[in-house]
Chains A and B, each alone.
Chain A
Amino acid sequence: MERIVISSSPPGGLDSLVDQRFARCSYFTLVDVEDGEIVNVSVVPNQSTTVPHGAGIQAAQFVASLGAQVVITGNIGPNAFSSLQSLGIRVYAGVGGISVRDAVMKYLSGSLSPSTGPGRPGRGMGMGRGMGRGRGRVW
């Protein structure tokens, strides 16, 4: 079994949109998959939405404590990205404008490629498209 955590717009869950922000998204949807099938879904509110500093690190620590092995999100900042990497969590960024369900399906079908670098810090809103396709763009 593999646990995927997806940054999600309210109310969270498979039918919500993927939130463009990682560290300051509203909810995390936890999706457990096994043999290419979704076996379990739960929603957890993000605790880092309003912290003044270090949201990326805190959010990374939080999803790690939820047992995440994979994170799917829109844009991701440098601190969040390096934290997730250090925690051994694979990051698929640059996913936007689609539902959590579609994002998971894309992941399962192998059409997402892992990110090799962060996007802009603290600029998640409205960003994220076209990022994380292995081009390693930093700014």
Chain B
Amino acid sequence: MWGLLTSQPPEIESLKIVKFYPSEGYKPKILAITGGKGGTGKTTIAVNLAFYFSRAGKKVLLTDCDVDAPSVATLLGAKIGDGEEVNQFLPIFDENRCISCGKCSEACRMHAILQVPGKTPLLFPELCLGCGACSLVCPADAVLEGKKVVGWIYEAEAYGIDLLIGELKLNERESEAVIKEVKEKGMRLSEERGYDLIIVDTAPGAHCDVALSLKESDFVLAVTEPTPFGIHDLDLILELASLLKLKHGVVVNRADLPGDHKLLKEVCEKHSSKLMGKIPVDDKVVESHVRSRPLLLDFPESKASRAIIKLAKELWRELSL
């Protein structure tokens, strides 16, 4: 068709948007997928919602904030590269300046610093959380800034969806440090690329890692199942979302499992949370996992796909995409 306009077709490269210039007040919509209980299908739903919105023409970034056990890349069969290190402050004691006063050792709430009288303090790096209190209290400016690797961030792409994956180094404690980096990097990328939507896949539970992942989202979708365990944890996660003053809704996954739907409804009502859909048990979901491909791509007509598409449309309205 280019031949109709010019004799020479333009280079494909020149058609690509190289840089996105955010307009005044640009802000991507942020959808957090959480749920309390583990294994309810948070990542499956996050991945398939991302796929739906992407196919519907939206520019989507999917971030994996379940840094203890990230699985977005696995579910999408995405290849990830070397990743970028997430570092944490680790003190280095300058023996030339140190006056062996022991103030750093007293200030360390992790008791990671041993003050040997007359010597430079001894650090137990595996206990250090990188708070930097030691450097604040040191009267001799002897605490220098070192670092330790606590995790990595990987960028990847699958089916037109940009992925940002956080991973905590095994045996490290500060998941929050990695999540914070993932979120900040997501916002930086957003400024460059102009995402319409950022989907945040959180860890199970209702602890501080999850709270940090949920913050700043425009909508929190809690994925649950009708079992007593699912309902119990739903109660907690909706409480957390309310505490954070975030809008929230609920989707019941594996909705035909035996359970107490009346109680589930009561929990939703208690937190004024909207019941946004029910996804039935469907073997095709497992098959899509085995294939490491989106369910919506391979089995668009399956029961679960239809329910997810319905949910996606509901969320589209909720987020005014």
Residues on A lying within 8 angstroms of B by beta carbon are 48, 51, 53-55, 57-58, 60-61, 64, 79, 83, 86-88
Contact = CB atoms under 8 A, between A and B. Distances in A.
B116 A87 contact: yes
A4 to B, nearest CB: 19
Contacts of A79: 124, 127
Contacts of A54: 108, 110-112, 124, 127
Given A54-B124, A83-B122, A86-B122, A60 B110 contact: no
A53 B113 CA distance: 12
A88 B122 CA distance: 13
Nearest to B127: A54
Contact of A64 (B111, B113, B117, B127): B117
Interface in B91-143: 105, 108, 110-117, 122, 124, 127
A105 to B, nearest CB: 30
Residue in A54, A64, A88 whose Cβ sees the most chain B Cβ within 10 Å: A54
Interface residues of B, number: 13
Contacts of B117: 64, 87
Given A53-B127, A57-B124, A83 B114 contact: yes
Contacts of B114: 57, 60-61, 83, 86-87
Nearest to A78: B124
| Main DSSP-derived SS at the A contact region | helix
A53 B110 contact: yes
Interface string B167-193: 000000000000000000000000000
A58 B116 contact: no
B111 A53 contact: yes
B28 to A, nearest CB: 38
9 contacts: A51-B111, A54-B110, A60-B114, A61-B105, A79-B127, A83-B122, A86-B122, A87-B114, A87-B117
Contact of B111 (A57, A86, A87): A57
Residue in A48, A53, A83 whose Cβ sees the most chain B Cβ within 10 Å: A53
Contacts of B108: 54
Residue in B105, B108, B114, B116 whose Cβ sees the most chain A Cβ within 10 Å: B114
Contacts of B124: 54, 57, 79
A79 B124 CA distance: 8
Given A61-B105, A64-B117, A86-B116, A55 B122 contact: no
Given A55-B111, A60-B114, 16 more contacts: A48-B111, A53-B110, A54-B110, A57-B112, A57-B124, A57-B127, A58-B111, A61-B105, A61-B114, A64-B116, A79-B124, A79-B127, A83-B114, A83-B122, A86-B114, A88-B116
Contacts of A83: 114, 122
Contacts of B127: 53-54, 57, 79
Contacts of A55: 111
A51 B109 CA distance: 9
- A-B CB proximity, top 10 nearest: A54-B111, A58-B111, A57-B111, A83-B114, A53-B110, A57-B114, A54-B127, A54-B110, A86-B116, A86-B122
A46 B114 CA distance: 17
Contacts of A48: 111
A107 B160 CA distance: 73
A87 B168 CA distance: 34
Contacts of B113: 57
A53 B127 CA distance: 8
A64 B180 CA distance: 39
Contacts of B112: 53-54, 57
A5 B113 CA distance: 22
Contacts of A60: 114
Contacts of B110: 53-54
Residue in B105, B108, B111 whose Cβ sees the most chain A Cβ within 10 Å: B111
A54 B113 CA distance: 9
A61 B104 CA distance: 13
B71 to A, nearest CB: 30
B289 to A, nearest CB: 38
